[in-house]
Structure 1
Amino acid sequence: MINSHLTSFAGLPVAPFVPGGTLPDDPSAVAWRLEIEDFDAEPEVFAALFAAFRAEVPAEAVRAVVIGEWGAAYESAPPLDLLVAAAGEWTGLRHLFLADLVGEQCEISWITHDDITGLLRAYPALETFWVRGGNELRLAPLRHDGLRELGFQTGGLPATVSRAVAASDLPALRRLDLWLGQQQYQGDTTGKDLAELLAGDRVPELRHLAICNSEFADDIARAVATAPVVARLEVLDLSKGVLTDTGGEALLAGQPLTHLRRLDLSHHFLSEQCADRLVAALPGVEVDIADPQEVHVYGDREYRFTAVGE
């Protein structure tokens, strides 16, 4: 669950758009939040807000946009058509966050999406793109020369989307965040699905890689342990998942990680001994082993949970 809305995005303070309200002296110095506070509102209500925003905020000042609640997010996707229609005017848009919703508005695994490929193609100069929620999310492999930061915050990221990201040519990308989530919410991505990404050829500038919040954390760790892309990373984030000693041992036995600035393993199921060995093996690296978890036992079964879900 995500418990709070963004207060800043892409280094800019988030400001809600109010139709008829007073604009800041520099409308380009904020990330504009577009949201209606009615989860049962008809699509026309958000469309009217969007139209007012286009009419009142100069197109050349639209630099960053955060899409909040647009209606019944548990059953309808964000109004991508409105964003695509504005692309011809919003030539300065560089930063976009899709579905900044908290649990009280819609559980992260219920946030419904659609095919975002056309949206990315409509904004070839977009530099930052984050999506929250993965239900019915779709993406086709593409080339995007502008993206420097791409993130998917989900309680379940479909493997089809992970494979599409891995197969995309993103020559300027420096940061990628994939919150893979739980199988019961379409979070079926494994290390095999990320093979093209981990080879590194399609993301030559990648320096920050997060493959986290995964029920397959040990499998991801095994894949990362021999992945060519890791050699050029500064930050590797395998946090929020169900990493156990199996994954920890794979990292210890794999390629050197001493070049990293930070290794994030927080929210994990490592034993104290394995966690300590990882820290000791990387003396010059900031290794985060905070938030150790306990296995839940019910009857004869053990359960481990990701950090972000329902």
Structure 2
Amino acid sequence: MERQENLSELVGKKVIDWDPAEGLLDPAHIIYRIRVEYDGAESWDDRFAAFLQDPAVSELSGLVVGMWSREVMEGQEAMEVVEALVAAREKLPNLKTLFMGDIISEENEVSWIEQTDVSPLFNAYPRLEYLGVRGGNNLRLGSIQHDHLRTLVIEAGGLPREVVHDIQRSDLPALESLELWLGTPDYGGSTTIEDFAPLLRKPLFPRLRYLGLRNSAIANEIASVFAYAPIVERIETLDLSLGTLTDVGADALLHSPAILKLKKLDLHYHYCSEEMVKKLEQLGIAVDVSGRQEIHEETWGTDLYVSLGE
């Protein structure tokens, strides 16, 4: 799967590119994206500075950072974007939704996006409720202390274990939705099942209702361990979609009493057999097992691919 289109909706609100000729039409209900053309002359900083001059910018509730430079593979550029966002905090007092890195494959593959330490954003925007980040290279979150963050989404073709450690060290009492795209070692993913030990053993994030460990090359291990983890007994949705889940991991889910307490189990895009799909559909809860992938035996073994790698 490639990201072929920019975000068009986020937290129930329409996302559009900011057009300086039109200005901010409805900043409380429309989320604007600031992006530059790959071969354009204007810098992201200059475009953002012009955006901030609109008198209605203080009403803005959401912002999407799109393509920030043709040098998006350079971490320095991402750091400068974060610095610009932090510097603008007094002009954006109502910002509650922020997505960093709405970059599509035509502009740059997700595995090529060089991110940075985004931890300064949490102090700059204490009312932030949603943070999304695309790209895992050099990404760090720090030990977050934030009272209002409800949703955290990290999309990556390969997620470094340090990011998982940062999240589990964080104090996020309002967090309701945690979505991590773990990816594959081929594109920088170093997270193992052992890296989730705190989440498995400690009562982290008391308000968590949705847990997504998606796009993972270790989907079977995750399913086998989380099927019997205490955290599954208190969430509503477990999302293991877009990864390399086979009958091995699915069987653990099938026989877990905790899974039956969920409202939804999302496994779409998987490598389970047709027989296993039928069994999962009879669990008695909402189960998404669409997008079944065929396992192709090659001379060098069995090839299983996550949905989003490069």
TM range (shorter): over 0.9
Structure 2 equivalent of residue 237 of structure 1:
239
Tell me by how many angstroms 1:3 deviates: 1.5
What is the correspondence of 1:212-223 to structure 2 with a 5 Å cutoff?
212-223=214-225
1-side partners of 2:201 and 2:37: how far apart?
43
Tell me by how many angstroms 1:65 deviates: 0.1
8 A contact 2:61–2:95 mirrored in 1? yes
Structure 1 equivalent of residue 17 of structure 2:
16
Tell me by how many angstroms 1:185 deviates: 1.2
Residues 244-286 of structure 1, C-alpha deviations (whole Å, 9 max, x = no match) = 1211122223343122121111111112222222222x21x11
Residues 134-188 of structure 1, C-alpha deviations (whole Å, 9 max, x = no match) = 1121222222111111101111111110121122121101111101001111112
The answer to whether residue 48 in structure 2 is matched with residue 50 in structure 1 is yes
The answer to whether residue 72 in structure 2 is matched with residue 73 in structure 1 is yes
Structure 2 equivalent of residue 185 of structure 1:
187
2-side partners of 1:129 and 1:223: how far apart?
27
Tell me by how many angstroms 1:200 deviates: 5.5
**Structure 1 unaligned spans of 5+:** none
Secondary structure of the residue aligned to 1:134 is: coil
Tell me by how many angstroms 1:196 deviates: 1.7
8 A contact 2:65–2:100 mirrored in 1? yes
What is the correspondence of 1:153-302 to structure 2 with a 5 Å cutoff?
153-199=155-201, 201-280=203-282, 282-283=283-284, 285-302=285-302
CA RMSD across the alignment? 1.7
The percent identity for this pair of structures is: 39
Aligned AA (2:13): L
Structure 2 residue aligned with 1:100, among 99, 102, 110? Answer: 102
8 A contact 1:208–1:235 mirrored in 2? yes
Secondary structure of the residue aligned to 2:44 is: helix
2-side partners of 1:97 and 1:131: how far apart?
6
2-side partners of 1:144 and 1:273: how far apart?
45
8 A contact 2:228–2:258 mirrored in 1? no
What is the correspondence of 1:99-138 to structure 2 with a 5 Å cutoff?
99-138=101-140
Tell me by how many angstroms 1:306 deviates: 0.4
2-side partners of 1:46 and 1:160: how far apart?
28
2-side partners of 1:75 and 1:29: how far apart?
33
8 A contact 2:100–2:134 mirrored in 1? yes
1-side partners of 2:163 and 2:258: how far apart?
29
Structure 2 equivalent of residue 60 of structure 1:
58
Structure 1: 4+ residue segments shifted above 4 A: none
Secondary structure of the residue aligned to 1:287 is: strand
Aligned AA (1:75): E
Paired positions, count: 305
**Structure 2 unaligned spans of 5+:** none
8 A contact 1:39–1:69 mirrored in 2? no
8 A contact 1:167–1:202 mirrored in 2? no
Distance 1:169 1:298, change over 3 A: same
1-side partners of 2:56 and 2:24: how far apart?
10
8 A contact 2:23–2:54 mirrored in 1? no
TM-score (norm 2): 0.93
Secondary structure of the residue aligned to 2:143 is: coil
Distance 1:167 1:255, change over 3 A: farther
2-side partners of 1:99 and 1:122: how far apart?
18
Aligned AA (2:198): E
Question: Which range moves more in the overlay, 54-63 or 165-174?
Answer: 54-63
2-side partners of 1:234 and 1:15: how far apart?
31
Structure 2 equivalent of residue 2 of structure 1:
3
2-side partners of 1:158 and 1:277: how far apart?
34
TM-score (norm 1): 0.93
